Structure 1
Amino acid sequence: MAETTGTTGTTGTTTEGVLPKGFRGAELGWPELERIPHPPHRLPLLGDLLGASRRTPIQDSLRYARQLGPIFRRKAFGREFVFVWGAGLTADLADEARFAKHVGLGIANLRPVAGDALFTAYNHEPNWQLAHDVLAPGFSREAMAAYHPMMLAVADRLTGHWDRELAAGRAVDVPRDMTKLTLETIARTGFGHDFGSFERARPHPFVTAMVGTLTYAQRLNTVPSPALLRRAARRNAADIAYLNHTVDDLVRARRDQGGGKGSGDGDLLDRMLDTAHPETGERLSARNVRRQVITFLVAGHETTSGALSFALHYLSRNPRLAARARAEVDRVWGDTAVPGYEQVARLRYVRRVLDEALRLWPTAPAFAREARADTVLGGEHPMRRGGWALVLTGMLHRDPEVWGPDAERFDPDRFDAAAVRARAPHTFKPFGTGARACIGRQFALHEATLVLGLLLRRYELRPDTAYRLRVTERLTLMPDGLRLHLERRTPASSDPRRPVPGAGD
């Protein structure tokens, strides 16, 4: 999920999710705000919203970033926000000694459902560190290897569904099916639950409620007052109630099965229920367990489904690159019917494809940082303690000083080992930064690499030639309306000895 804009974190909070009117530079922690450029034609009430869309604030910000440079500001309904994307400034903000995570407005808007869970906790709230220490072993190499068979089982349900669509002559709905896949994966591996997504013609109600809460949080960023969203607020309250009810049932079922009494060596839910902090002996409260489960179910599938969808889009549009990735799968996995855990990490080019998709469209498109003490950003911009800025990840990943003049081009070789070593640190940040970076990063990358390898081995991907990439925003990013046509590969076409155009590039 994306960090967008914000209230204060370590230095106190305002009403959750709502900044006071007239929030000016000094209050934001930028005493020399007037030195930072902003879009032209600013209006008294709307600020910089002229020509902007409430549905695509991130993409609007990318457009302004190209015009205004590595640091800029936008104003909407009396609220002023500072955006940073220059590589040098971002590296400065990544300094954990001087800056910390800032719970921005988009995240604070999710606190009614996620509270002080890992993603939405303020830095001063103790449950963040408690949950992190309790759950970190759930993402160890040993834990990941135990999740691998369940990931394979869910991927098998996806390919079964795609085979049926192919047999019926239908294109596949990529974002919808990737959402089903990743929801089932985190639900089964983390919580032993099956939503039955592939047996449903429509999205599971959990997904509908989740999308509703994310969309509502996004809308709160684009209106002068929450009072204008009374009907949407009632719908959001119903969505939150449904998420809570679903998770409470899931936890109750685990307790009925004996969960909460063991060693805490099982899945994520067992760890939440069973494990005490190794030093303090503290345990997660029942309320916090609910919040953590919701966070993992939402964040644990929403961003990964987007990454897979963007990767499949770019591969379908670049047959030579798809052939190269497919050749690697054939060579590394060979005739192995079921790839083992260790074989996934050997798909180095496939992983580069995913990294390049995350570079162009980081599905969590921004993260916010706040000053721990008075400081000067980049040696030029004074910031007071608690002052914050939003790192625009999608533009950081397009910085021509880092990625070259062709930064908009899809090129997985930007992530070969030599290129990565040659780049400055903190220039690729799809999972955030620092102590509060995504705890499930390795889980997401293993799942996505495995699934992409399986799909490349099984299918040729054919795009809809009339489709042009559209990106929908609901705090996270996802291709909109992406459908692909499939061709089942023949045994001859999957022969690892068969030459592949571009495989030696």
Structure 2
Amino acid sequence: MAQLSQVAEPEDAPIPKGFRSAEIGWPRLGAIPHPPRRLPLVGDVLGANVRTPVQDSMRIGQALGPIFRRKAFGKEIVFVWGAGLAAELADESRFAKHVGLGVANLRPLAGDGLFTAYNHEPNWQLAHDVLAPGFSRDAMAGYHPLMLDVARQLTARWDEREAAGRSVDVPGDMTKLTLETISRTGFGHDFGSFERSRPHPFVTAMVGTLSYAQRRNVVPPALAPLLLRGATRRNTADMAYLNRTVDDVVAARRAAPGQGTGDLLDRMLEVAHPETGERLSAENIRRQVITFLVAGHETTSGALSFALHYLSRSPEVLARAQAEVDAIWGDVAEPAYEQVAKLRYLRRVLDESLRLWPTAPGFSRQARQDTTLGGTHPMREGAWALVLATLLHRDPEAWGERPETFDPDRFAPSAVRARTAHVFKPFGTGARACIGRQFALHEATLVLGLLLRRYDLHPDPGYRLRVAERLTLMPDGLTLRLSRRAGAA
């Protein structure tokens, strides 16, 4: 999320006030520090790493403090990570979501879908009101058996690898799991991911579009047609494939109505707004399906992968989590829906992993009216800043003197109560926070519980965590060895 330039929007999506401002609505940028050795015209490019802009910005932010700015090729971005400043930006009466940076680069694909819609676009509220009941408790309980079915496919694959003494590709298998989970629970579609030795073409195309959106933010706009010529052609092909895939899924449902038993696609096709009677258009349905298929599996797969990494490196935490699963789930073949939320310590493990590496690493906020941030920094209406969650989650003011240490007890109830609000934001904030967060947390906790009950995890001694960036974050090259636990079914 921490990228350095912007791209023009389609003509049918007018850019809100403040987005193109040379100073993005900050009258006194001089009061905000920036990296040393800024160069004329090109800005803060010395020492920048275009492949890891989030981690690059984390390094800069730790040196410059809780609010800083970066500039490249005439575009300047203000970053915020201090707990107090982030809490102000979370105030919905003063600030709203800002769609910019890499998120805006996804609009040619996702348009006014829930994640990429501008605040003034009416389809966001329409889709939110229509789809929100699809994430109710009753709806979640209905998804639970399908989640278990997909998890069985994962454990069957891991049993084969364990029996053969071979390591498992954690990010690759978590991606297969989460893609199948959202596609089957939400849209009644089976990609057959676990029957493939390589990623499904949908995943390849999705990674391509996310990576392209990232690259657009680190290439000077004037040079993009030259430097990204081949990448642009590939991105066009990737978007066309994603659109065709979704069109086929929707067409299959229209040809056999009632097959979804009230899932998300059924709601999109059949449910009108409860007050206005409006329905989603065919174009918006395509955009929403793409949004859920991409966002609904990419971030959860990253969260699971980071959690498995930290569990494998923390024997005491692993043993404690396994003991909890054994005690609460006992000998039942498969846990019931209500038993998942009882894994409170395992949920702390997941939250702590999301603290250290929130897979959606930042979010932007814009001023609803002229205001002042932190009593020092004036912002005009429409001015925006990027909240760098990866550093907010490491602010010593909120998390203590050793914020880099993995410690699930940071999320014990007493610790949560003692902490100030708005310092843990892995799903964004406010009205535009992730609509599927409870779905993701239930899925991830269920899968971790099933895996820990079945396996002991053994890390590669030579592996050091590397984080790949493609708008979202994912461990790079993470493999684990497995051994079946005594008595595991």
> TM-score over 0.5 for the alignment?
yes
In structure 2, the residue matched to 1:378 is 374
| Alignment match of 1:395 (pick from 391, 395, 406) | 391
Letter in 2 for 1:240: M
Alignment partner, residue 180 of structure 1: 176
* 1:422-501 correspondence runs (5 A): 422-491=418-487
- Equivalent residue of 1:74, what SS? strand
Q: 1:76, CA displacement in angstroms?
A: 1.1
- Number of the residue aligned with 2:137: 141
2-side partners of 1:87 and 1:7: how far apart? Answer: 30
Instruction: Give, in whole Å, the separation in 2 of the partners of 1:486 and 1:181.
Output: 18
CA distance in 2, matches of 1:105, 1:66: 21
Q: Contact 2:183–2:190 (CA<8 Å) still a contact in 1? A: yes
Distance in 2 between residues matched to 1:287 and 1:239, nearest whole Å: 18
Deviation at 1:45, TM superposition (A): 3.3
Q: Take 1:130 and 1:74, find their aligned partners in 2: how far apart are those partners? A: 36
User: For the Cα contact (< 8 Å) 2:2–2:362, is it kept in 1?
Assistant: yes
Match of 1:107 in 2: 103
Shift of the alpha carbon at 1:144? 0.2
Shift of 1:490: 1.1
Contact 1:100–1:372 (CA under 8 A) maintained in structure 2: yes
Tell me, what secondary structure is at the counterpart of 2:298?
Answer: helix
Conserved? CA contact 1:90–1:426, under 8 Å = yes
Match for residue 414 of structure 1 among 407, 410, 413: 410
Among all aligned residue pairs of Structure 1 and Structure 2, give the percentage whose two residues are the same amino acid. 74
For 1:184, the aligned partner's letter is E
Give me the whole-angstrom Cα distance separating, in 2, the residues matched to 1:171 and 1:458.
15
* Match in the other structure for 1:249: 248
- Offset at 1:216? 0.2
1:209 aligns with 2:205: yes
| Distance verdict in 2 for CA 1:138–1:325, change over 3 Å | same
Query: Contact conserved, 1:70 with 1:86, CA < 8 A, in 2?
Result: yes
**1:248-327 → structure 2 map (5 Å cutoff):** 248-259=247-258, 266-327=262-323
- For 2:72 and 2:466, how far apart are their aligned partners in 1? 24
Map Cα deviations across residues 426-480 of structure 1 (whole Å, 9 max, x no partner): 0100000000000000000000000000000000000000000000000000000
Q: In 2, distance between residues paired with 1:433 and 1:138? A: 20
Q: 1:37 touches 1:68 (CA, 8 Å); kept in 2?
A: yes
Aligned mates of 2:104, 2:201 — CA distance in 1: 24
Aligned partner of residue 331 in structure 2, secondary structure: coil
2:119 pairs with 108, 120, 123, which one? 123
Contact kept, 8 Å, 2:2 with 2:388, in 1: the verdict is: no
Structure 1 counterpart of 2:234: 235
Write the letter of the residue equivalent to 2:440: A
1:77, distance to aligned residue in structure 2 (A): 1.3
Q: Structure 2-normalised TM-score?
A: 0.96
User: How far apart are the structure 2 equivalents of 1:344 and 1:110?
Assistant: 34
Task: Give the Cα separation in 2 of the matches to 1:298 and 1:210.
Answer: 7
Structure 2 counterpart of 1:247, one-letter code = V
> Bigger shift: 221-230 or 168-177?
221-230
TM-score under structure 1 normalisation?
0.93
Distance (whole Å) between structure 1 residues aligned to residue 15 and residue 45 of structure 2: 24
2-structure distance, mates of 1:443, 1:7 = 32
Deviation at 1:50, TM superposition (A): 0.9
How far does residue 24 in structure 1 lie from its aligned partner after superposition? 2.8
Provide, for residues 182-203 of structure 1, a one-character-per-residue CA deviation record: whole Å limited to 9, x for no partner.
0000000000000000000110
Give the letter aligned to residue 234 of structure 2. R
Structure 2 counterpart SS, 1:252: helix
- Helix, strand or coil at the partner of 2:37: coil
1:502 corresponds to which residue? none
Q: Displacement of 1:3 after TM fit? A: 8.0
Whether the 8 Å CA contact 2:2–2:57 is kept in 1: the answer is: no
Q: Give me the whole-angstrom Cα distance separating, in 1, the residues matched to 2:2 and 2:138.
A: 30
How is 1:145-184 mapped onto 2 (pairs within 5 angstroms)? 145-184=141-180
Map of 1:500 onto structure 2 = none
For 2:237, give the aligned amino acid: A
Shift of 1:13: 6.8
Q: SS in structure 2 opposite 1:45?
A: coil
Q: 1:72 maps to which residue?
A: 68
- The offset of 1:230, in angstroms, is 1.3
SS at match of 2:228: helix
In the superposition, relative to structure 1, how do residues 269 and 14 fare at CA in structure 2: closer, same or farther (>3 Å)? closer
**CA distance in structure 2 between the partners assigned to 1:180 and 1:119 by the alignment:** 22
1:45 is matched by which residue type in structure 2? Answer: L
Alpha-carbon deviations, 1:348-372, whole Å to 9, x = none? 0000000000000000000000000
Q: Which amino acid aligns with 1:254?
A: R
Helix, strand or coil at the partner of 2:480: strand
Matched, 1:351 2:347: yes
**Change beyond 3 A, Cα 1:184–1:245:** same
Across the aligned residues of Structure 1 and Structure 2, the Cα RMSD in angstroms comes to: 1.8
1:501 is matched with none
Distance (whole Å) between structure 2 residues aligned to residue 456 and residue 389 of structure 1: 40
2-structure distance, mates of 1:484, 1:469: 12
Could you say what secondary structure the match of 2:462 adopts?
coil
* Count of residue pairs the alignment pairs up: 481
Q: What's the CA shift for 1:15?
A: 7.2
Secondary structure (helix, strand or coil) at the match of 2:468 reads strand
The C-alpha deviation readout for 1:102-126, integer Å capped at 9, x for no partner, is: 0012111000000000000000000
Q: Is the 8 A contact 2:187 2:264 kept in 1?
A: yes
1:18-41 CA distance string (max 9 Å, x none): x86xx532xx01000111000001
Give the match for residue 335 of structure 2. Answer: 339
Whether the 8 Å CA contact 2:3–2:218 is kept in 1: the answer is no
How far does residue 169 in structure 1 lie from its aligned partner after superposition?
1.6
1:305, distance to aligned residue in structure 2 (A): 0.2
Structure 1 letter corresponding to 2:304:
L
- Equivalent-residue separation in structure 2 for 1:45 and 1:3 (angstroms): 20
Take 1:466 and 1:14, find their aligned partners in 2: how far apart are those partners?
A: 50
Task: Give me the whole-angstrom Cα distance separating, in 2, the residues matched to 1:431 and 1:301.
Answer: 14
In 1, Cα distance between equivalents of 2:151 and 2:181 = 8
